[in-house]
Structures are given as C-alpha cells and as structure tokens.
Amino acid sequence: MSQRASTQAPLYSAAERQRRDRSPWTLVQGVLAPLQFLAFAVSLCLVLRYLYEGEGLAAASASVLVKTALLYAIMITGSLWEHDVYGKYLFAKPFFWEDVVSMLVIALHSAYVAALLCGWLSARALMLLALAAYASYALNATQFLLKFRAARLASPARSSPPVSSVGVAGALE
C-alpha cells in the first residue's frame, strides 16, 4: 500500500457509511454504473465502426443517445446519493475532483445532443465529439475506480459488500 493511501482520510466516516447504506440511491448507482459502462462499450464500437467504415450512422447516433441518457440518470441519482451521504448535491470534499471531471463529461455529452438536434455538425464531427465525450467518461470512470480501490485498501474492516460505481458521486465502496 502506498504511503498516500495509508495517510488519506477515509472515504466515509462511520455516520456517512450508515447514511450510504440506508440511501436508496446506493443500489441505483450500483445498477446504473455497469449499465452505463456496457452502453459505453457498445456505443464506442458503433462509433468507431462508423468512423472507419462509414456505415451504421443511425445505430451509432442512437447508441450515443442511450449512453447519454444513462449518464444523465447516473448524474442525477448520484447527486441525490451525494446529498444523502455528505449533505451536498455536488462537490463534497471526498469526491470534489471526480465531480469536477463529471461536469466536463456531462458538458461534452450534452454538446453532442445539442449539435445532433440542431444540425450544427457533420456526421463525422458528431462522432468525433462523441469520442471526446467518451474519453472524458473513461477518465472519470478511472478516477472513481482508483478512489474505490484506494478506499478498499485503506479500509481495515470491510463490513459491507463492495459495489463499484462510476458517475457523479456514485460512490460506493
């Protein structure tokens, strides 16, 4: 274990852990996170297929919209979860930087939806914007996974079953 992980404040105080375990949003986040990742993986394949072969634009576009809808759901429910656990809808100290990057993720996905609906970009430019949104999502997912791994390694007792999540404050240990 790195020295940083051993000197970091715990992800949850005892009271926050109890609030996390009582929050209905904990389970919701645990379900939405893998669904969003699955949508991301499928959509990434479809977007890349369109960019390389020039085929499947409708499927690629629809997949980005599905991924974006799941992102919105996880962002909203994650904010509700963060409020239940930490008393703040966003930017609670333990997840400040994850939430900052989540804002970039939602901005890029929202830009895709706006550009698609308003016809602002060509099909190729839309797919490149989707890739930028997906790169930010991958960064954000990595932030959360590393945080949960560090929290798990630093936790002396693992009293509750581990569940992982990715999204705005979809923080489960």
Where does the pLDDT of residue 167 fall: very low under 50, low under 70, confident under 90, or very high at 90 and above?
very low
Cβ neighbours around 83 below 10 Å, total: 17
Cβ neighbours around 88 below 10 Å, total: 15
- pLDDT value, residue 154: 73
Q: Which helix (H) or strand (E) holds 66?
A: helix 57-86
With vertex at residue 148, the alpha carbon angle to CA 142 and CA 150, rounded to the nearest 5 degrees, is 100
Weakest-pLDDT range from 2-11, 51-60, 115-124, 141-150: 2-11
What does the mean pLDDT of the chain come to? 87
What is the per-residue pLDDT across 123-164, written as a single tens digit (0 to 9) for each? 999 999 999 999 999 999 999 889 888 877 876 555 444 444
Q: Which amino acid is at 171?
A: A
Give Cα 113 distance to the centre of its chain. Answer: 18
Candidate ranges 21-25, 145-149, 166-170; pick with highest mean pLDDT:
21-25
